[in-house]
Amino acid sequence: MSQALDHVFAALADPTRRSILAMLLEDDMAVTDVAEPFEMSLAAISKHLTILTKAGLISQEKRGRVKWCKLEPNAMKDASVWMQAFGQFEPVNLEAFEKFLETELGDDHGS
């Protein structure tokens, strides 16, 4: 699972790929339609789509002569579960942590 998460987070690290995913939230799209709003070549968009596909975030399928992209609804589930694990911790209270350290280490730590 760790390698799969690495691929998902690496794919999500790029703003162009995040934009593509946001576009695909609306509906399936032809590759040429995905490329339209971006100022880059179709080849560059294809590379982004390949990364998203390898990460399992989208699927691509040929319908006639047109290649379509589809968001995979469960693709981010593992990443989401992983991130939610961090939500169960309280934010660090630095003042309380400092006081704890002073108590534990004594006052001779240079302050």
Tokens read off for 9:
């987070």
pLDDT for 111:
46
Domain assignment present for residue 110? The answer is no
**Residue 92 within a domain:** yes
CATH label of the domain that carries residue 12: 1.10.10.10
Amino acid at 18: R
Per-residue pLDDT of 45-103, as tens digits, reads 999 999 999 999 999 999 999 999 999 978 888 888 888 877 765 566 667 767 777 77
Read off the pLDDT of residues 2-51 as tens digits, 9 standing for 90 and up. 888 899 999 999 999 999 999 999 899 999 999 999 999 999 999 999 99
| Total count of domains within the chain | 1
| 111, part of any domain | no
Domain of residue 63, residue span: 2-105
Q: Is residue 15 part of a domain?
A: yes
> Which residue has better confidence, 107 or 18?
18
